[in-house]
Structure 1
Amino acid sequence: MNEPFLSAIPIINKLEASGFQAYFVGGSVRDYLLNRPISDVDIATSATPNEVKEIFSRTVDIGIEHGTVLVLYQNRSYEVTTFRTEGEYQDYRRPKEVSFIRILDDDLKRRDFTMNAIAMDRNGQLIDPFNGQTAIQNKVIQTVGSAKERFQEDALRIMRAVRFVSQLSFAIEEETLQALTKLVPLLKNIAVERIRAEFEKMLVGENGNNAIRILLETQLYAYLPGLKNQKIQLEKVICYPFKGLNKLEMWSLLLFTFLIKDKAVEVFLREWKLPVKEIKEIQQILIYLEKRMEREWSINDLYSAGRNAVSSTEKLYGVLKGHTEEDSLSYWLKIYDELPIKQRNNMDVTGRDIIEWFQSEGGPWLKDTLLKIECAILAGDIQNDKEKIKEWLIRCSQK
């Protein structure tokens, strides 16, 4: 056992010392068995939320109605959730009621996939009543119990299954896949924000191509915002070597492939309820990607794009052209890094300086002059030095 489990053992020790059971559960245990990076751990316990709060002095109620308390311990936070069973589900997304229980196996029984229904005690011993280890060894995504029932309980599990195909390079077990295919219309009941979170994780996974292929084969894509009429374009995306692209780059690749441009970009992304900041970043990438597909970078484009947009655009250019060499990316980033200024406020002169030099009131001429200086510095006609800029301006005014 390694970090972050080791740092969390005192939490389990304290719960057990108070007479309760406590185990590591969920994705952290799965990822531990897969030797994947683990960011945080979740703990399940037989203690009720109120009992957890009595044991630990510093807690936060983050989902107490569902049994979850955030325990603050040594500058870290841990989600501690009471063993529970769930009543009848409503709207294919949440249970009408939650009952706290004392039996671990009954808690594991309510989970989505067998690989996520494994518990581990503080000594590293595994409790695996649904053969999750076998599923992991066989690289199979299989529901706990009836696939139909699990997907009808929470239809988001349909997206989670496909997301795990991408992230883990696992295959969906046949019965699970059949139920998924039949029940994809249930996604209409799930909030777009929840679907987007799974979709974005799917896009940046190691095996995103195969996950998109499953979207197509199961007709799942038709129930995702803006994708119903994009079957041919999605088939085209599969052919691109897009592994390694980040979330914004993947959205940009989809939009570029879908031939969605200009104002339609914002309409499409708002349907997915992306944050405004991310929409603007994607729009900027698409502007420069269109230019890059037609010609090489100009100094002015590098400057106006900024390093992040240059990097994303060049990576996408490589994907669309079918090569993954980083020479081109390194070349253009080196040129960008060598620019004498990266933005206007890097200039060693201000509007106030110019007004003082020419003893004139501000006006449109001042904006034009600053732009003229900016272009001259980028072109290498003058150095970014206040005195040299002043001399250059005076000479220009005398011509």
Structure 2
Amino acid sequence: MTIKQYAVQIVQTLQKHGYKAFLAGGCVRDMIMGKESFDYDIATDAMPHDVIRIFQKTIPVGIQFGVVIVVKEGHNFEVATFRTEDSYSDGRHPDRISFSTPENDVKRRDFTINGLLYDPVKDEILDYVGGRKDIEAGIVRTIGDPIERFTEDKLRMIRAARFACRFHFSIHKDTQQAIMQLAPQIHMVSAERIREELEKIITGPNPHIGIKLLEELHLLQEILPEVSNTRGVQQPENFHPEGDVFIHTLLALSKMENPSWTLAMGVLLHDIGKAVTFTVTDRIRFNLHEKVGADMATEICDRLKTSTDDKERIRWLVLKHLCFKDAQKMRLNKLKRLFAEEGYPELAELCRADALASSGDLSDYDYCQEMFQKLSREEVKPEPLITGHDLIAMGLQPGPLFKEILTKIEDEQLDGNLTTKEAAIERVKELFMK
């Protein structure tokens, strides 16, 4: 059975027990748009204790909000009792709920396109808010008063941009004006939730449109001022005929293919250092902008509560995003060290997107990829010819010199000048034991 069939089965079971039950929200929107959905929610007038009684395996994740997870063959389905909500003192969660009717339940939701119910038994769509019309027109519009909807849950402001870029919809002018008015209040939302929405935008369809929308809605200045500040930062026309740093960043985002969170953030942040390193001498220059940008990226990741591993990868991508331009002149050992990095495939994709968003010259990228494919893993990251134990056996004392010796021997090994342990030992004696 498919996920949808399991969801329909839950609806049928609830209806057989005498309750009203519908598929609700995004899965109905996707069905109308002819898109595959991977998340099915069910709305019902059955109370949480009734849902727990009816189904064999449940998880009471939010009984206080009328929400129970029903588990079917390893798939989780959120089953929520029709409700209304009142007062959102934290700008995210209701202080009180009351169980209600299907129509009132829909009217508490965020956008009209997500406010549809579907009865798979009767094959009937219930549309109390004009959701079908807005889907057909390609409009993201809040249900009811936009100020009220965004005051209830500030995260909805970013979600509006996400849905607009995901479906290539426009945002209704009243909804847009409300977001612009309330944008400074986005900080009431936790950094983790903001990061989750940002991740969905920049790893989903049309990330460039999403970031441009966030800027137009005054949200980007609130959540990523470093990116917003690249607007109007001019670049040398011979290297960047496309325009300023912000335009270049949007173009680079549009060139990504199947990006991970870390790659997408690397692309989004790769040139943020240019806004603070802009100088004009013989021409416009951005000296050490990759190093400055890497430090800024670290601060951004900390602010967004990004995991340590992801933060280190994003920082590394920003720091290394210029290295391909010197690749054809690199010594073989340096090139091999680059290829040995776990993040190399993401760096290559960043450099490809960066080039396509500026000069369009992919010769450096093509050279690196050709060399990367040509060199085996053993050649890129071979077993060390000698270790610290070997140096101790030679009578050397452990200390900072060990790292210098081992790095030098590894460089010569990567260049192909040393191939055996015996030769490596002789080279150590020649260089460090005279």
Q: Tell me if TM exceeds 0.5.
A: yes
- Counterpart of 1:341 (choices 378, 387, 390) is 378
Task: Say whether residues 1:109 and 2:107 are aligned partners.
Answer: yes
Matched, 1:375 2:406: no
SS at match of 2:70: strand
1:211 counterpart SS class = helix
What is residue 343 of structure 2 aligned with on the other side?
309
TM-superposed CA distance for 1:232, in Å, is: 3.1
Can you list the C-alpha shifts for 1:212-266, whole angstroms capped at 9, x where unaligned? 3333333222222444644435733455242234432332233332214343332
Of residues 161-170 and 295-304 in structure 1, the stretch that sits farther from structure 2 once superposed is: 295-304
Q: Cα 1:325–1:397, aligned 2, differ >3 Å: closer, same or farther?
A: closer
Contact 2:27 2:40 in 1 (8 A): yes
- Residues 164-313 of structure 1: matches in 2 within 5 Å? 164-227=163-226, 229-232=229-232, 235-237=246-248, 239-243=250-254, 244=256, 245-259=259-273, 260-296=292-328, 298=330, 299=332, 300-304=334-338, 306=340, 308-313=342-347
TM-score, with structure 1 as normaliser:
0.85
**Contact residue 314 and residue 328 of structure 1 kept, 8 A:** no
1:279 CA drift (Å): 1.0
- Distance in structure 2 (CA, Å) of the matches to 1:327 and 1:4: 45
Distance in 1 (alpha carbons) for counterparts of 2:115 and 2:379? 51
Could you tell me which residue of structure 1 aligns to residue 85 of structure 2?
86
Pair 1:327–1:164, CA change in 2 (3 A): farther
In structure 1, distance between residues paired with 2:342 and 2:109: 40
Cα distance in 1 for partners of 2:398, 2:159 equals 57
Cα shift readout 1:20-68 (whole Å, capped 9, x = no counterpart): 1222212222223333342221222211111111112222122222122
The answer to whether the 8 Å contact 1:89/1:95 transfers is yes
**Equivalent residue number for residue 288 of structure 2:** none
CA RMSD across the alignment: 3.1
| TM-superposed deviation, 1:396 | 4.0
1:85 aligned counterpart, secondary structure: strand
Do the aligned partners of residues 303 and 130 (structure 1) sit closer, same or farther apart at CA in structure 2, a change above 3 Å counting? same
* Unpaired runs of at least 5, structure 2: 234-244, 274-291
Alpha carbons 1:165, 1:207 under 8 Å: kept = no
Describe the SS at the equivalent of 1:119: strand
Displacement of 1:166 in angstroms is 1.8
Contact kept? 1:62, 1:69, Cα under 8 Å: yes
Shift of 1:116: 0.4
After superposition, the C-alpha distances for 1:292-331 in whole angstroms (9 at most, x for unaligned) are 3455484424434546532222222233333578886565
Q: Is the 8 A contact 1:9 1:122 kept in 2?
A: yes
Matches of 2:260 and 2:329 in 1, distance apart?
22
CA distance in 2, matches of 1:140, 1:239: 23
Q: Alpha carbons of 1:394 and 1:248: their partners in 2 closer, same or farther (altered >3 Å)? A: closer
Paired letter, 1:363: P
Distance in 2, matches of 1:342 and 1:207, equals 39
Q: 1:229 and 1:398, CA in 2 relative to 1: closer, same or farther beyond 3 A?
A: closer
SS of equivalent to 1:94: coil
Q: Aligned pair in 2 of structure 1 residues 397, 269: CA closer, same or farther (>3 Å)?
A: closer
Which residue of structure 1 aligns with residue 31 of structure 2? 32
In the alignment, which residue of structure 2 is the partner of 1:363? 398
Structure 1 unaligned regions, length at least 5:
384-388
CA contact (8 A) 1:84 1:106 kept: yes
CA distance in 1, matches of 2:388, 2:215: 60
Paired amino acid for 1:235: F
Distance of 1:302 and 1:21 partners within structure 2: 63
1:392 to 390, 410, 423: 423
Report the CA distance between 1:335 and its aligned residue. Answer: 2.5
Distance in 1 (CA, whole Å) between partners of 2:385 and 2:26 is 54
- SS of the equivalent of 1:144 reads coil
Quote the Cα distance in structure 1 between the aligned partners of 2:383 and 2:294: 32
Query: SS of 1:240's equivalent?
Result: helix
**How far apart are the structure 1 equivalents of 2:126 and 2:144?**
17
Work out the CA distance in 2 between the residues paired with 1:249 and 1:141: 28
Distance in 2 of aligned mates of 1:30 and 1:210: 21
Matched, 1:151 2:187: no
Residues 212-221 or 17-26, more deviating: 212-221
How far, CA to CA, are the matches of 2:11 and 2:327 in structure 1? 60
Q: Which residue of 2 aligns with 1:15?
A: 14
- Measure the CA separation in 1 of the matches of 2:134 and 2:361: 36
Counterpart residue number, 2:236: none
Aligned partner of 1:386 in structure 2 is: none
* Contact 2:297 2:318 (8 Å CA) reproduced: no
